[in-house]
Structure 1
Amino acid sequence: MPAGLRLGDPGPMELADAARAWHTDGFVILPGFLPARELTPAVRELDLLFPSADGFHDGTDPRRERFVGDEFAGIDTFPFASTELSLLAVNHRVLALAEALLGVDDIHIYGAEAWAKYTGACNYDQDLHRDYLNHTILVPSTTPGCRQVEMFVFLHDVPEALGPPHLLSRQHTASLPAMPNWYDNSGSPRLYAAEVSGAGPAGTVIAFEPGTFHRGTQLTAPRGARYSMQLCFRPANLQWGQRVGWAASGFTTEWGEFVGRATARQLQAFGFPPPGHPYWTPETLAGVALRYPKLDLTPWRGSSPVRR
């Protein structure tokens, strides 16, 4: 199977192919995986988070200076100012893909970031590296049930001139030890010669393991801007894979707005017990109803255990 298998809008059979590529290469590229109709509501609200390309390059957006000089300054963390973008992070297609790759039905999202980059703002070119140092307190594993998956989601078209990530198949790195974590071009030209570009249209999802070598690349398009999300998933019982604790944001307005519109499946990805779980009692249902008055508790009320 070719490194970084590319698939369009996959169904169940194609998800199985994506999983095989992900297991073989450590990544899979899915161009246009999220259709425009599911992207559009979030893209319309990007201005709640970031300057437009014109606003940045013309200097008319007062938020411009935040993005200058630091490649990571363009990151906003979940929950986002845009509820539509927060909902997109746990889109049903994204959850189905994470389940298929991890091979489990009960998954948790352990990181979600929106990221804006602008041509000339800073140097976005990176050395090949692995992300695992801040995704797990251990090292990556290929054991079933012990894997984690990251995803880049393109909110706009990302051609080569807008700095797509480049990735390296496990076929070229399987013999490399857990450390060092970075390899520069001057010392490892054979690795850079084998990397694959993740360039793709809006809605493209690139799924990769925290142990997969990859790197960010420079934006060169005149007046360019790149908007994307980075999402991280793990099996629910994989306690050593972590990045953020969602309760730290549980008091924010943005979190409340997201919870009020999310489905039971989406909330389960953040740690809500599923319908039918012993947690759901008349007492907890009443409390959750007070905390989240916009949340429709019907899925949980209809299947809550009866207290005796």
Structure 2
Amino acid sequence: MKLSDAAKSWHTDGFAILPAFIPPEELAPVVRDLPSQFPTAEGFHDGTDARRDRFIGDEFAGIDTFPFKSTELSLLAVSERLLELASVLLDDSDFHLYGAESWAKFTGACDYDQDLHRDYLNHSILVPSTTPGCRQVEIFVFLTDVPEDLGPPHLVSRRHTDRLPALPNWFLRPGQVSESRYTDDSGSPELYAAEVSGAGPAGTVIAFEPGTVHRGTGLTAPRGARYSMQVCFRPAQLQWGQRVGWAVRSFSSEWSAFVGRATARQLQALGFPPPGHPYWTAETLAGMALRYPSLDLAPWTRAE
């Protein structure tokens, strides 16, 4: 899919599916590093990996937050391909990564089959907007193949949801009852009938808005494992789109390892001022050299 076609789909449907968008050669170092981040399928299902119990009983227990133990995975979160995609979808060259998570799921660990919902409640202090400059984008990246029996996300086009009010946010499957104002317990047959599968090979990318109705699905493949990453971008000036603050993680060894290998453009997506910004002075450059000894300061020094 061309990026222009992806943008059209994202604007029309609220999502775009780009099969194998990340090529094998760019995924290879990440896949080689995955065992440092998560158990292998064999290690989980054979019970030989001591990290196994962490994943039992809670679908969200398999989430790790950026910066990752694997520097290769951290670099993929702000790879040139993903930055270019975010730039095209947001129609903006100045944008920030406001969330990044890697996620491992294993068949039988727990019930991963979700109800349809929207993500905006924990991605914004406001409600979703389609106004240019006021949109956010979430991106799923499949690190390995995710066929239908390994729990791909299902999504519902805006064509079927554009008249939905901001609340309720969760649309429960039949048989469930809730009195919360955040949930609709009618069964929502029209939404479940309209959902589209995002199944695809390794490297597939699914870009969607926090206001897009979607859900995770269950894993049924025998001895199955699914590895993915979610990254979230917003225009730099869009202050109401929030997930985490990077400063709280910025003195970890994982962060320093990432910074030492990242480009100026990648670091700008994390909030570093671009080359030529008034922030960059002899004083701050000297300080940055002390804080990040492995960071090549040339891009900022040349523009000082």
Tell me if both proteins adopt one fold, taking TM over 0.5 as the criterion: yes
- Three-state SS of the structure 2 residue aligned to 1:45 is helix
**Equivalents in 1 of 2:101, 2:146: separation in Å?**
17
- Three-state SS of the structure 1 residue aligned to 2:103 is strand
The amino acid of 1:160's aligned partner reads E
Q: How does 1:20-35 map to 2 (within 5 A)?
A: 20-35=8-23
Is residue 127 from structure 1 mapped to residue 119 from structure 2 by the alignment? no
Is residue 65 from structure 1 mapped to residue 73 from structure 2 by the alignment? no
The amino acid of 1:282's aligned partner reads A
Q: Percent identity?
A: 76
- 1:157 aligns with 145
Is residue 109 from structure 1 mapped to residue 97 from structure 2 by the alignment? yes
- 1:194 aligns with 194
- Three-state SS of the structure 2 residue aligned to 1:79 is coil
Q: Deviations over 1:217-263 (max 9, x none)?
A: 00000000000001000000000000000000011000000000000
- 1:86 aligns with 74
**Equivalents in 2 of 1:113, 1:185: separation in Å?**
27
**Equivalents in 1 of 2:171, 2:252: separation in Å?**
40
**Equivalents in 2 of 1:20, 1:32: separation in Å?**
19
Q: Deviations over 1:178-236 (max 9, x none)?
A: 00001123221111011000000000000000000000000000000000001000000
TM-score (structure 2 length as normaliser): 0.96
The Cα shift of 1:16 comes to 1.3
- 2:270 aligns with 270
- 1:55 aligns with 43
Alignment match of 2:162 (pick from 167, 174, 178): 174
- 2:296 aligns with 296
Alignment match of 1:138 (pick from 126, 142, 150): 126
- Structure 1's consecutive aligned runs of 4 or more residues displaced over 2 angstroms after TM superposition are none
**Equivalents in 2 of 1:22, 1:199: separation in Å?**
17
The amino acid of 2:156's aligned partner reads L
**Equivalents in 2 of 1:103, 1:185: separation in Å?**
36
**Equivalents in 1 of 2:36, 2:94: separation in Å?**
32
The amino acid of 2:205's aligned partner reads V
**Equivalents in 1 of 2:6, 2:37: separation in Å?**
32
| Structure ranking higher on relative contact order (CA contacts 8 Å, 6+ apart) | 2
The Cα shift of 1:85 comes to 0.4
- 1:11 aligns with none
Is residue 226 from structure 1 mapped to residue 252 from structure 2 by the alignment? no
TM-score (structure 1 length as normaliser): 0.94
The Cα shift of 1:292 comes to 0.3
The amino acid of 1:135's aligned partner reads H
- 2:177 aligns with none
- Three-state SS of the structure 2 residue aligned to 1:142 is coil
The amino acid of 2:133's aligned partner reads G
The Cα shift of 1:49 comes to 1.1
The Cα shift of 1:275 comes to 0.3
- Three-state SS of the structure 1 residue aligned to 2:293 is coil
